[in-house]
């Protein structure tokens, strides 16, 4: 089991989640974060911290976001580790809850 960052994080990237992770298993891309599935210990601490509810446990990941399971695993191998919270993008609020953001994911 792992926790998974889903579509709502794209272009929001608040990073509150990284502050609470006891094993520092978040990795950062230009406009999205991912969780390394082999490092996540399923503590569930990060899930309630996300202001846009972008984090799910693997078994609660919505059907239309299943692609994010593989995306988290793939990108966590490529992107750098992030362990401290940073400022959200200036337009993060405008992107909260917007649908179809997958196409906007930058690698
Ligand atoms: Fe980190 Fe726990 Fe969230 Fe996994 S569930 S990413 S270990 S805070
Ligand atoms: Fe993304 Fe939410 Fe973390 S927007 S960076 S999953 S706090």
Q: What share of the chain is helix, strand, coil (3-state, %, to 5)?
A: 30, 10, 55
Phi, psi of 57 (to 5 degrees): -75, 150
Model pLDDT for residues 25-45, shown as the tens digit of each residue: 999 999 999 999 999 999 999
- Domain borders along the chain are 3-86
How do residues 8-27 score in pLDDT, each as one tens digit?
999 999 999 999 999 999 99
Whole-model pTM: value is 0.98
Q: Which of 4, 25, 85 has most ligand 1 atoms within 8 Å of CB, for mutation?
A: 25
CATH architecture of 3-86: 2-Layer Sandwich (3.30)
Closest CA to 72 of 32, 21, 14: 32
Closest residue by CA, ligand 1 atom 2: 43
| Contact between 39 and 23 (Cβ < 8 Å) | yes
């Amino acid at each position: 089991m792992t926790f998974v960052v889903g579509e709502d994080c794209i272009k929001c990237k608040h990073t509150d989640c990284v502050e609470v992770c006891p094993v520092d298993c978040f990795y950062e891309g230009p406009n999205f974060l991912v969780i390394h599935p082999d490092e996540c210990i399923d503590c569930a601490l990060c899930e309630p911290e996300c202001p846009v509810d972008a984090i799910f446990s693997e078994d609660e990941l919505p059907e239309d976001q299943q692609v994010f399971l593989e995306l988290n695993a793939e990108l966590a191998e490529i992107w750098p580790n992030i362990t401290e919270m940073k400022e959200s993008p200036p337009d993060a609020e405008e992107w909260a809850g917007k649908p179809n953001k997958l196409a906007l994911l930058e690698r």
